[in-house]
Structure 1
Amino acid sequence: MKRFLLVSKLTLALLVLMNIQGAWAVDMGDISVHGFVSQGYLKTDQNNFVDRTEDGTFEFNEAAINFSLEPMDSLRIGLQLMSRDMGDSGNNDLYLDWGYADYRWKDSLGFRVGQIKVPMGFYNQNRDVDFLRTFVFLPQCIYNENYRAFRTAYRGVEVYGNIPMGSLGDMEYEVLLGTPEMDTDEPLFKGMFQLYALGIGTPTYKDADIYLDYGLASALRWNTSVDGLRFGFSNLHAKVEADSTITGSPYTSGANVSFVWEQEYDYFYVLSSEYLWKNFKFAAEYSRKKSKTNYSYVGLVNRKSNTVAESYYGSISYRFSDLLEIGTYYAENYPNVDDRDGSEQTSNNLMPQKDWTVSVRLDVLQNMSLKFETHFIDGVTDLLNVNHPDGFEDNFILYTAKCSVNF
């Protein structure tokens, strides 16, 4: 709460100092400054989408400010500082969202060095920019909020460019090699230990660490010669490792033992399509992921699994006026394509999930939007064990509301 008040006061002071009167971007000499602030509300009829949503929660907010400078025509330097809270994730800590030096040698070849957004699907790199979409939440079957820290930005190097294709349009490409900064206090990490390590009883863990050995992300985006039509392919190859000391697990007869967990993506690709036509926006994405998971209590137990997961969605939105935009999407997520009905799964959150979403966006001011969204969800694949000590209900409804202001 204190952090939220601090961020709110800093944001308010910044807006006052900028004396915003219709000009929502600030030019400090050669430095451009932009930012946004949002506050939301989450409520579920049962289950916890994040911590405590069954009771309703305002722990759903974001604030960011970014700076950019172009010291020469081919060089851009920029960074964004961000604070966010979503249940037990983020907790309004201030962090570097992205920050890099971008040297564009020519249109077909450029280089970035620093903390760089991961080119995953069409919308991962701008998922923080609420004004660019109709929906409060991007389809979770691909843009899962629980994996945000792992898939949002990597510290490393990137090669990118745009290649003209004549009458066929043009092709954009990106190749990023790096690693993210991962926090052991994130609910995803706690949930992983609960699922794989702790088992039944009342065990605990200490001296925990989680890290990405490597992450290689690549993307192709074909902007066709048909106005508003584009297609894309992106892929992520990565290996994540975690370890800790487990105390009191029945698997280890209560002894203190080292626990090691590894997961490697042989591939994790997304096929994307988007078509803008008049006031309509159509989008569809398909994802397939093959992962190898190994976990062991050193010297006692060693287990392995290989899984292929599949997910996809289709969305449509329509702008009726400067004030009103409405959208909907339908998504399906199958954690194991060899068990589509979930009959062989021992954990509820490895069952298939389907999500039908309806969203209303109101642009009440030029730089202020209100969004109201309802998710009708069958299945609990995207939920975490750590938020459900008493188990899951198979179906639930998620209600969301969000107000965003940008400058």
Structure 2
Amino acid sequence: MRYLPTHSKHDLLIGCCVSAFAFSAPSPAQDLKLGKWLPESMQVHGFLSQGFIHTSDNHFFGHSDDSLSTDFRELGVNGSWSVLPDLQLAMQVVWRDAGQTDEAGLRIDYGLANYNVLSTESSLLAIRAGRVLTPLGFYNETRDVAATRPSILLPQSIYFDRNRDLAISADGGYLYGEHRTDFGDFSFNFGLVIPRTDGPDFMNTVLRGDKGEVGGDTSWVARLGYESPGSRVRFAVTYADVLSDFNSSSHPRNQGSFHFNPLILSAQYNAEKWSLTAEYALRRTRLDYLNAHDVAFTGQSYYIQGAYHFTDKLEGFVRYDELVWDLDDQYGYRYPPQLGPSFSRYARDWTFGLRYEILPSLMLSTEYHHVNGTGWLSRLENPQDETRNWDMYAFMLSYHF
């Protein structure tokens, strides 16, 4: 199995909204002989994954310290329907459990309409509206299905799992364009959206442990992309302006607005048996309090990952992933102790992983992390007594149809 480009062709535009469609598995409507009741242009797919996580110290997705946590599972069903040649509808419903960061519950990951304003052999201009997958970096649009991720856990410095719902999709509209040339494919995405801010970990972080409300405000996201012929080389630049308001019900001084501005640079090279991927993010965060001093800092994230395909069914990877929350205080020496230890302001992660395709629709993945720092751990699961140097072992069995 190879790593899948996330935005190279028009078919994959809709495939991003129906992630399992990236595989050539037949539609269950065909498998179950339901075609006579469903339109021929309708696709239905799904996925199921169960993860097992053990950590030497700290907790990740459940009580994983010195025990085996099974609180990491994902179940989803998605479908798409070409109502008209230029109008497609797509939706995905997910049930997910990821410890205290995502306590089991049903939600709509995306539900949208895609209309092709212009479609020729070389160019495409489309409008998407509804709850739309957010175009951040290379992997955000396909992170929902385990089989479409390059690893069990995406690089946490850029693709935070503790704030998955905030990142994966938002409500609003996008303008998408693509132009295919002999030199490669060029694409752009621009959207005005309202972010989803009801994730327990995000609310806990913004409200600093208080009870209250967090609501999304008008935000925007833009991405430019390039892909060479044959998908050998890929580049992307992403920028977003994410806004939300918060109001603590117990502390009047803890109310205001949250501003987040990530700039992500992405690059990938794909050879016949190996690939090299790197992404870099500069993240500006600002909290504007109505009755207190504002807080602002700029952080940095990056990773570099090499993958090798030993056989058609077995592949491995190695990755170095680094997160710094504040470039002016990279080791957290000036971070207030009452808010957390100094090493909660960074994380440096070496990861080694393997994945094996047992069947075309069934995959087993395993990976090992050696981490210095706790910068991407959830404070809900680790309220105190964090350990700076720790190891994590993860296993996942995933099925898709």
TM over 0.5: yes
Select 2:70's aligned residue among 58, 62, 71: 58
Partner AA of 1:306 in structure 2: A
Structure 1 segment 294-333 matched on structure 2, within 5 A = 294-295=288-289, 298=291, 302-333=292-323
Partner AA of 2:257 in structure 1: E
Select 1:231's aligned residue among 231, 235, 257: 235
| CA distance in 1: counterparts of 2:384 and 2:296, whole angstroms | 28
Q: Does 1:120 align with 2:120?
A: no
| Pair 1:191–1:264, CA change in 2 (3 A) | closer
Select 1:210's aligned residue among 207, 214, 217: 214
Given that 2:61 and 2:69 are in contact with CA atoms closer than 8 Å, whether structure 1 keeps it comes out as no
| CA distance in 2: counterparts of 1:239 and 1:110, whole angstroms | 25
Select 1:168's aligned residue among 177, 183, 197: 183
Residue 392 of structure 2 corresponds to 398
Residue 266 of structure 2 corresponds to 272
Select 1:159's aligned residue among 175, 195, 207: 175
Structure 1 segment 7-406 matched on structure 2, within 5 A = 23=26, 25-27=28-30, 28-30=38-40, 31-54=42-65, 55-106=67-118, 107-164=123-180, 166-183=181-198, 186-193=200-207, 196=208, 205-206=210-211, 208-225=212-229, 227-246=231-250, 257=252, 259-265=254-260, 267-295=261-289, 298=291, 302-346=292-336, 347-348=340-341, 350-406=344-400
Shift of 1:168: 2.9
Given that 2:300 and 2:324 are in contact with CA atoms closer than 8 Å, whether structure 1 keeps it comes out as yes
| CA distance in 1: counterparts of 2:196 and 2:252, whole angstroms | 26
Q: Deviations over 1:25-78 (max 9, x none)?
A: 434432211110111111111011233121321110001111111122211111
| CA distance in 1: counterparts of 2:281 and 2:295, whole angstroms | 20
| Pair 1:25–1:42, CA change in 2 (3 A) | same
| CA distance in 2: counterparts of 1:24 and 1:74, whole angstroms | 21
SS in 1 for 2:282: strand
Structure 2 length as normaliser, TM-score? 0.85
| Pair 1:116–1:279, CA change in 2 (3 A) | same
| Pair 1:152–1:334, CA change in 2 (3 A) | same
Q: Deviations over 1:141-160 (max 9, x none)?
A: 00011121211101111100
Which 5+ residue runs of structure 1 have no aligned equivalent?
1-21, 199-204, 247-255
SS in 2 for 1:112: strand
Given that 2:197 and 2:244 are in contact with CA atoms closer than 8 Å, whether structure 1 keeps it comes out as no
Which 5+ residue runs of structure 2 have no aligned equivalent?
1-24, 31-37
Structure 1 length as normaliser, TM-score? 0.84
Given that 1:43 and 1:400 are in contact with CA atoms closer than 8 Å, whether structure 2 keeps it comes out as yes
| CA distance in 2: counterparts of 1:138 and 1:336, whole angstroms | 22
Residue 16 of structure 1 corresponds to none
Identity over aligned residues, as a percent?
A: 25
Given that 2:139 and 2:149 are in contact with CA atoms closer than 8 Å, whether structure 1 keeps it comes out as no
| Pair 1:343–1:91, CA change in 2 (3 A) | closer
Partner AA of 2:204 in structure 1: K
Shift of 1:258: 5.9
Partner AA of 1:318 in structure 2: Y
| CA distance in 1: counterparts of 2:284 and 2:252, whole angstroms | 29
| CA distance in 2: counterparts of 1:91 and 1:372, whole angstroms | 23
Partner AA of 1:76 in structure 2: Q
| Pair 1:215–1:53, CA change in 2 (3 A) | farther
Shift of 1:385: 2.5
Given that 1:118 and 1:125 are in contact with CA atoms closer than 8 Å, whether structure 2 keeps it comes out as yes
Given that 2:78 and 2:92 are in contact with CA atoms closer than 8 Å, whether structure 1 keeps it comes out as yes
Given that 2:62 and 2:70 are in contact with CA atoms closer than 8 Å, whether structure 1 keeps it comes out as no
Partner AA of 2:296 in structure 1: N
Shift of 1:225: 4.1
SS in 2 for 1:146: coil
| Pair 1:67–1:227, CA change in 2 (3 A) | closer
| CA distance in 1: counterparts of 2:349 and 2:27, whole angstroms | 36
SS in 2 for 1:342: coil
Given that 2:100 and 2:381 are in contact with CA atoms closer than 8 Å, whether structure 1 keeps it comes out as no
Partner AA of 1:188 in structure 2: F
Q: What is the aligned length?
A: 360
SS in 2 for 1:143: coil
Given that 2:74 and 2:94 are in contact with CA atoms closer than 8 Å, whether structure 1 keeps it comes out as yes
Structure 1 runs (4+) deviating above 4 angstroms are 22-25
| CA distance in 2: counterparts of 1:187 and 1:154, whole angstroms | 17
SS in 2 for 1:53: coil
Shift of 1:129: 2.2
Residue 22 of structure 2 corresponds to none
